[in-house]
Amino acid sequence: MDQAQRLREYMHRHLGQQERKTPSRMITITSGKGGVGKSNFTLNFALALQSIGKKVVVLDLDLSTANIDILMGTSSSGNSLADVLHQRKYLFDCIEKGIGGVEYIAGGLDIQELVTLDEKKLIFFMNQIHELHSYADFILLDTGAGISKVLVDFILASDETILVTTPEPTAIADSYAVMKTVLQFTNQVPKFRLVVNRARSYREAIDTSRALKNASQTFLKMSLNTLGFLMEDAHVQKAVRTQTPFYLTFPNCEASKNIKQIMYTFLPDLEVTTNTPIKGVRGFFEKMLWLGKSR
């Protein structure tokens, strides 16, 4: 029996009984190009979901820039998933309560470490991760820029992916490249949905989503659904400067209305897909482990 198998055995034996409630859905938020508004989208989308009674945890797996806490204006304790990985902290020591009730976990780890971890630490880590199993309705995973194998793994391991782009041709090209790269590693088409950010008009937003939809349909044989649009809105920058989320500070600005609209598209769409089993956070890390080992 290899390590991953032993781990699965262990989990089923010790934790199987607890799995009664619906698992938290893991949603990866990504883009090809950096600076397109992923972190702002993630935080404000989380707040919108939270405001209608959904429980959301934001997981920051961007190693280079940990900026969700900066956007919330909270100073974090410095604890991160890396501490859980090395048995220095329990998972619940790492959950920060942010503005508007959104909870936040800093990643602070190179996910590759998961693969090289000794069995004792791995069991501790997976055990701790299990605490999140049905803890939230959604776990939003904010990722870094750049198309890497780890990003592909995140996408393959999560329940669905929200691809954020802007109308800039470079951002569109990089979004297409993300989908193309992911398809090179799987024959099961993952679920992608598109958010066009910083559009200067609805026309531009529609043209952008149409361009990506057509390209993915024609060249990748993959259908890409659009989740919604966010307009270029100066309130977003204003909110970033004051380290408060725009959804709370400017609830009636255009970007906030767009976020609300996106949420109302997102939620009923989930109902339609309830037949697909939710991998959840445990499924996510198990798959990450498996993908890492099979590389």
Tell me which residues touch ligand ADP (CB under 6 A). Answer: 31, 34-40, 67, 197-198, 230, 232-233, 236-237, 240, 255
Name the binder of 251 from Mg ion, ligand ADP, none, CB < 5-8 A by kind.
none
Q: What are phi and psi of 73, to 5 degrees?
A: 70, 20
Cβ neighbours of 225 (radius 10 Å):
12
For ligand ADP, give the closer residue by CB, 260 or 279. Answer: 260
Name the binder of 256 from Mg ion, ligand ADP, none, CB < 5-8 A by kind.
none
Asked if 39 touches Mg ion (CB under 5 A), the answer is: yes
CB of 37 to Mg ion, least distance (A): 8
For ligand ADP, give the closer residue by CB, 232 or 286. Answer: 232
CB of 222 to ligand ADP, least distance (A): 23
Neighbouring residues of 114: CB distance < 8 A, sequence distance ≥ 6: 85, 122, 125, 285, 288, 289, 292
Asked if 143 touches Mg ion (CB under 5 A), the answer is: no
For Mg ion, give the closer residue by CB, 42 or 134. Answer: 42
CB of 64 to Mg ion, least distance (A): 9
Contact criterion met (CB below 8 Å) for 172 and 31: no
CB of 140 to ligand ADP, least distance (A): 12
Strands 95-97, 56-60: pairing kind = unpaired
> Which amino acid makes up residue 271?
E
For ligand ADP, give the closer residue by CB, 58 or 183. Answer: 58
Name the binder of 44 from Mg ion, ligand ADP, none, CB < 5-8 A by kind.
none
The pair of three-digit structure tokens given for residue 284, joined into one six-digit string: 């996510």
Contact criterion met (CB below 8 Å) for 27 and 160: yes
Own/partner long-range contacts of 88-94 (Cβ < 8 Å, ≥24 apart): 90/128, 91/128, 91/129, 91/131, 91/132, 92/131
For Mg ion, give the closer residue by CB, 144 or 167. Answer: 144
Note the residues at the interface with Mg ion (CB under 5 A). 38-39
